[in-house]
Chains A and B, each alone.
Chain A
Amino acid sequence: MPSLPLVLAAETVSTKLLSLSLPDLVIIVAYFAMVLGIGWYLKRQTQTGEDFFLAGREMTAWIAGLSFLSANLGSLELMGWAGAAYQYGILATHWYWIGAIPAMLFLGIVMMPFYYISKTHSVPGYLQLRFGENSRAFAAISFAFMTILMSGVNMFAMASVMKVVLGWDINFSIWVSSLTVAAYVSLGGLKSAIFNEVLQFVLIWAGAMLIPILGLIEAGGWENLKMEIAGRLGRSDYTHVWSTLGSFQDNPMGIHWTGIVFGLGWVVSFGYWTTDFLVVQRVLSAKDLRSAKMAPIIGAAFKMMVPLIVILPGLLGLGLLDMKLLPESEVKLTGGYSYNDVLPLMMARYLGPGLLGLGITALIAGFMAGMAGNVSAFATVWTYDIYRAFIKKDATDAHYVSMGRWCTIIGIFVSIGTAYLVMQFSSIMDYVQALFSFFIAPLFGTVLLGMLWKRATPAGGFWGLLAGTVSSIAMWFWVYMSPGALAYVALSPHAKPMAENMYRGLWSWIICVVVTVAVSLVTRPKTDQELVGLVYGCTPIPSEQHVLLWRRPILWAGVVGAAFIALNVIFW
């Protein structure tokens, strides 16, 4: 999410943060060799459309769950949120806890049965089954466009980070990483993307876990670190997740608990984790319904621990680094290091030759897995929801697999083109996050009503989705043309872009739901027979009575939910 400042840094810092030695380079090269080897190996297993686009629907709960998490855990995410932790303190943890865990558990327990039983290959595919071709076409085209744009933006952002951190040429980073991704995804399809995401997951933990361990040793434990931070800053609100959210002025982020709970915890989080096909596609590859339900729960368990390797290093930087890190705007004028440099700085502090290579490999792996996630999701939606649905309906399965491979390669080249476009017009970066938010919140409203309310009609679904998206775009333009409108859209003239995105998402979700309900009530619904496998109340959900208690998803969702509550209380 927070990638723009990292990119701006590329324009301002001329000296690199880290220097690599021979063992580091050997480790990085070995990673590239391994991912290409996996792609080559999996090519033989990828023959049918089901293999290429859904990884053969044979992934275990663990593999689907770790891949589900990895598709989101990109390197920009790691560096950006470590920087946010340095800037805002432990409040950044909300994006990993309330901003993810409830939605992931809801996906696993409530929504996954419908996605899985309907045998859909994509989220737009589910919309087609539930609401018809219009809704599918709208969702598929917007998703394909946004995914490829995001892929290009992330590609440029990562190349910029490599320039700042290692001094690598931007063109070199873009071409080497994107051609590698193009090779292994076009060879092995989603299975190859998922395998590499699991590999990336392991590398991220192996590469990043030493920083919190050594940092806490140096700080003398968590309690001492809290005292050190409070002493340095002269305030103690950097290490509490909830107790300072009673008013806008009492915390470093200038945010109220209602914004965190309803904006982040409801619309933004549920919209992203339950309807963004990039992450949902991973779970659809599970081998059976129980695995599909368990995958997001396993993902949630690990998501809860990610602050250890992201937020804690930011706080350690706050308590231990001798220098004071600055906002990007100040770094541009005065030099020095920015908030977003905190993770590389902590790497440089503790990691010697070899370990540093592993840490950098974790960042590169994160970036490549994110890009592979984008292009594999794009290939599926383009081939099944656009090409097969509207261009060539009666081709053979082999033809669609071939189309999937080619559009993976073409998708990468379009992404590269987008990356160079962003290089020329960096203001595109400002708009991309907003563009993405236009579609996610209304889509969540449409899918949620589609799954839980059988009275929702095809016309209601389509017009609700369209109204929500158009209203979101209209609100954005309103604020863009007349900044004073921020006071109405975000309820405060001082709202930051993040808060504006949240409130705009909330309004567009409400508009989507209201329009869907209103139109549905005056149009003819589908019969119950047509809704079997798609909607709550019409779909027989397989009983889990015969499954041993400790193997039931609901039990583990309860365990993760209890741990989530406990963590929030402990760090209150």
Chain B
Amino acid sequence: MTSGSHLSIWFFVGILLAFYGLIIAGAGIYGWFVPPQVHLAQYHADLWWGLLLLAIGVFYCYHFAPRKARAR
């Protein structure tokens, strides 16, 4: 299920991770100005983690996009 005419599961994973990355990074940017009441808030884990999820999600979306799957 990673090739052929069907959408790959990794494409769905990419969409969800990219969306989650956007939401969490957005919350992280807000948290930069209004820090959340959690331990180690000074490291801004939400922002970095959100950007990481966004990057992985975009990569999966691109790599397993339907047009590329059809080309393989």
Contacts and interface: CB of A to CB of B under 8 A. Distances in A.
A197 B6 CA distance: 18
B33 interface: no
B33 to A, nearest CB: 13
B16 A34 contact: yes
Nearest to B13: A202
A54 B50 CA distance: 36
Given A63-B1, A199-B9, A350 B39 contact: yes
Interface stretch (A85-93, A250-258, A353-361, A541-549): A353-361
A38 B36 CA distance: 34
A214 B53 contact: no
A198 interface: yes
B17 interface: yes
Contacts of A37: 12
B9 A210 contact: no
Interface string A440-480: 00000000000000000000000000000000000000000
A218 B39 contact: yes
B27 A352 contact: yes
Interface string B42-54: 0101100110010
B71 interface: no
- The CB with the most chain A CB atoms within 10 A, among B1, B26, B38, is that of B1
Interface residues of A, number: 36
B19 interface: yes
Given A26-B23, A60-B1, A218-B39, A355 B6 contact: no
A30 B7 contact: no
Given A23-B24, A26-B23, A210 B49 contact: yes
A319 to B, nearest CB: 13
A30 B16 contact: yes
Contacts of A218: 39-40
B65 interface: no
A59 interface: yes
B23 A23 contact: yes
Interface of A: 23, 26-27, 30-31, 34, 37-38, 41, 45, 58-60, 63, 191, 195, 198-199, 202-203, 206, 210, 213-214, 217-218, 348-355, 357-358
Given A353-B31, A353-B36, 15 more contacts: A23-B26, A27-B24, A34-B16, A59-B1, A60-B1, A63-B1, A195-B9, A199-B13, A206-B17, A213-B45, A214-B40, A217-B40, A354-B24, A354-B46, A355-B27
**Which 6 pairs between the two chains have the least Cβ-Cβ distance?**
A352-B36, A354-B27, A354-B24, A23-B27, A353-B27, A195-B9
